[in-house]
C-alpha cells in the first residue's frame, strides 16, 4: 500500500475518487470538493488541501481522506475556539491543525472513503497513522474528523481518538403522501401554528418559486448569491462561497442544487439553498433583502419538506442549530466528531471536558425529545432509525 498527500483534488481522477463514495453523498463528490478550490472558496478562508490517497501495488485507489490544514476554525460548526484559547493561554500554539471535514458544511458523512467495508478496514489505520505523522511534520496541535457517521465514529474511537457529541434537528419522511398528510401527524397546536405561518408567508403580493436542477439559471444564482452574502455581512463577515461556485454546481452536479426563491410584487426578496443526495435533502443557506412575516420558515422548511415528500426523500437535514425546528416537525439527532490531541496533558483535559459535555448533550436530547410536535412518540423502530 502506498499513500500520497495531494494539495489539490485536480491530482486525482474524479471517477476514481467518486468510486469511494458509494453512498452518493453530494458533499463528498470530487465535483463538490474540487469546485470549492477551483472557485476560490478555500484558501481565503484558511483551508489548505492535504488530502490522503491510499493506493494498492497496482496503483489503484482503494481509500482516501479529505483533509485540510487549517489556520482558524471558521466554517467547521464544531466549535473549538475555547480549546484554542486555553491551549494558547497555556503557552501552546493551537494553529495550524488538521481537519477532515466538508468545508462550511455540517452534514454527517464518511470521513474515510472506501468502496466497501473490506477496503475501509485496511485504509482506516493506515490513513489515520499518516494523518498523525503529517500533523507532527506541520507541528500542528491536533487532528479533527468532523461529522463522521456513527459507524465511523466507533472506528475512530477504537483508534483512540476522543469523541465529541453534538445535536442537530432533522425531519423524517414517514411515507407521507402530501404536506397535509404530514400535518395530520402533528398535534393540534403545532398543526394550527404551521397553517397560520404558511398563510402569513403566502400573503398577497408574495410569489414563491421552487427551482431544481436545470430550472436554475445563472440569473437565479446571481440573485441568491446576493441574499447569501447579505446574511454573512450581517452576521459573520466575509462570505465563504463565491457566485461562480454556485453557478458551477448547476453544471457539475445538476441533480443536486435546490433553490426556493420568494418574490414580492415581482421582485426577488429572499431565497434558500439546499443540496439533494440519494435519500436526503440538506438545507444549507438562506438570505433576504427584506423581511416578510414567516417567509423564512416557508422557504427554508415548509417548501423543502414538500419537496422531500414529492420526491420521496427519507430525510431533511436542515443544518446546524435551531431549537425552533422542534415545533415544526423536526426531531433531535446526535452528531459526532473525533479528535486526536498531540499534547498528552491537553488531551487529558479535553477528554475530561468531553465526558461532561456528552452527559449534558444526552440529557438535553432526552429532554427536548419530550417536546416533539407529533401526536404520538415514534415507535422503537423509528427511534433506532432516527438515532442512526
Q: What is the dihedral of CA 211, 215, 221, 226, to 10 degrees?
A: -40
Task: Give CATH for domain 174-313.
Answer: 3.40.630.30
Cα 322 to its chain centre, rounded Å, is 14
pLDDT of res. 369: 79
Q: Which secondary-structure segment (H or E) carries 315?
A: strand 315-317
pLDDT at 53 over 80: yes
pLDDT of res. 377: 58
Cα–Cα distance for residue pair 187/199, rounded to 1 Å: 19
**pLDDT tens, residue by residue, 165-178:** 999 999 999 999 99
Any idea which residue has 397535509 for its cell? 180
Burial class (CB in 10 A: 0-12, 13-18, 19+), 115: middle
Q: Do domains 2-169+333-369 and 174-313 have the same CATH topology?
A: yes
Any idea which residue has 472557485 for its cell? 39
pLDDT of res. 231: 86
- Looking at the structure, give the CATH architecture of the domain made up of residues 2-169+333-369: 3-Layer(aba) Sandwich (3.40)
pLDDT at 236 over 90: no
Shortest CA distance to 286 belongs to which of 300, 303, 306?
Answer: 300
Q: For the chain, how many residues are written?
A: 388
Per the confidence metrics, is the pTM higher than 0.85? yes
The answer to whether the beta carbons of residues 54 and 63 sit under 8 Å apart is yes
Q: Is 318 helix (H, G, I), strand (E, B) or coil?
A: coil
Q: What are phi and psi of 337, to 5 degrees?
A: -145, 155
Q: What is the mean pLDDT of residues 292-311?
A: 97
Question: How would residue 382 be classed by pLDDT, with cut points 50, 70 and 90?
Answer: very low
Cα–Cα distance for residue pair 76/98, rounded to 1 Å: 12
C-alpha cell of 294? 414567516
**pLDDT tens, residue by residue, 181-204:** 999 999 999 999 999 999 999 999
Domain ranges for the chain, please list them. Answer: 2-169+333-369, 174-313
Amino acid at each position: 500500500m502506498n499513500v500520497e498527500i495531494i494539495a489539490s483534488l485536480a491530482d486525482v481522477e474524479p471517477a476514481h475518487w467518486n468510486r469511494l463514495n458509494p453512498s452518493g453523498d453530494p458533499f463528498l463528490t470530487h465535483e463538490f470538493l474540487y469546485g470549492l478550490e477551483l472557485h476560490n472558496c478555500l484558501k481565503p478562508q484558511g483551508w489548505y488541501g492535504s488530502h490522503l490517497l491510499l493506493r494498492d501495488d497496482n496503483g489503484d485507489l482503494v481509500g482516501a481522506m479529505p483533509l485540510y490544514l487549517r489556520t482558524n476554525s471558521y466554517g467547521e460548526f464544531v466549535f473549538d475556539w475555547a480549546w484554542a484559547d486555553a491551549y494558547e493561554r497555556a503557552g501552546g500554539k493551537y494553529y495550524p491543525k488538521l481537519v477532515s471535514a466538508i468545508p462550511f458544511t455540517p452534514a454527517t458523512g464518511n470521513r474515510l472513503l472506501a468502496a466497501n467495508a473490506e477496503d475501509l478496514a485496511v485504509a482506516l489505520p493506515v490513513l489515520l497513522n499518516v494523518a498523525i505523522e503529517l500533523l507532527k511534520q506541520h507541528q500542528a496541535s491536533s487532528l479533527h474528523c468532523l461529522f463522521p457517521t456513527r459507524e465511523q465514529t466507533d472506528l475512530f474511537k477504537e483508534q483512540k481518538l476522543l469523541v465529541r457529541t453534538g445535536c442537530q434537528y432533522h425531519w423524517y419522511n414517514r411515507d407521507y403522501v402530501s404536506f397535509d398528510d404530514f400535518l395530520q401527524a402533528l398535534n393540534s397546536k403545532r398543526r394550527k401554528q404551521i397553517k397560520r405561518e404558511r398563510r402569513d408567508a403566502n400573503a398577497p403580493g408574495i410569489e414563491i418559486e421552487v427551482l431544481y436542477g436545470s430550472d436554475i439559471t445563472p440569473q437565479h444564482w446571481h440573485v441568491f448569491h446576493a441574499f447569501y452574502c447579505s446574511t454573512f455581512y450581517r452576521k459573520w463577515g466575509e462570505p465563504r462561497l463565491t457566485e461562480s461556485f454556485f453557478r458551477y454546481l448547476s453544471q457539475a452536479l445538476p441533480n443536486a442544487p435546490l433553490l426556493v426563491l420568494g418574490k414580492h410584487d415581482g421582485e426577488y426578496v429572499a431565497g434558500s439553498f439546499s443540496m439533494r443526495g440519494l435519500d436526503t435533502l440538506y438545507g444549507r443557506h438562506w438570505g433576504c433583502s427584506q423581511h416578510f412575516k414567516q417567509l423564512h420558515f416557508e422557504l427554508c422548511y415548509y417548501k423543502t419538506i414538500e419537496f422531500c415528500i414529492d420526491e420521496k426523500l427519507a430525510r431533511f437535514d436542515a443544518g446546524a442549530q435551531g431549537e425552533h425546528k422542534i415545533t415544526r416537525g423536526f426531531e433531535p439527532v446526535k452528531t459526532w466528531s473525533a479528535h486526536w490531541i498531540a499534547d498528552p496533558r491537553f488531551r487529558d483535559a479535553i477528554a475530561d471536558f468531553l465526558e461532561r459535555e456528552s452527559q449534558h448533550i444526552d440529557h438535553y436530547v432526552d429532554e427536548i425529545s419530550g417536546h416533539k410536535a407529533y401526536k404520538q412518540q415514534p415507535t422503537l423502530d423509528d427511534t433506532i432509525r432516527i438515532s442512526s
